[in-house]
Structure 1
């Protein structure tokens, strides 16, 4: 797994690498579980190591929008190895997905569509 901090002194510990891997897994699993990806990319945290990075064509329209709007916040949460990646990453994505869906409902109500 390549991460820009692997070249720092001291490098990540195995525990830190496991947390980073878990953070990526949480995000991908969230996208899968919420119908935001068109295919399954991971089934467990170990799959992150061997998978290819998702491409734009792997996302639904909503998934791509969420990815673009939440990516930097999500990466910052993964990078803060003091935090639990499961809770912090999932919280960010849940909040942003909820906001995206609320905004879409509001727009639909304004335009008279459902």
Structure 2
């Protein structure tokens, strides 16, 4: 059996410790990134909720009942899913939603729709 000198064994342990530290740092970075993403998503949903609250009651109920959902909001554009059957009303609804975004965030937000198959 090969016997390693104490300094060599110490170097191996230090290398292993260093690898574990690097792995922990990478895990922490991933957790922080996920945390940041979740905070942005929560903020977007809060803004969307405020947008819905800023709509008149009839359009708000229409959006709730017809399952309009915020898919993405990057601060400048909002992508909203709506059932395919409501494509004819999309332009009118986009103007109402854009006006509500303006009231909530204080600047113009472009609304884009992603049409989904009717459930």
Instruction: Give your verdict on TM over 0.5.
Output: no
TM-score, normalized by length of structure 1?
Answer: 0.30
Greater Rg over alpha carbons, structure: 2
Q: Which has the higher contact order (CA 8 A, sep 6+)?
A: 1
TM-score, normalized by length of structure 2?
Answer: 0.29
Higher strand share: 2
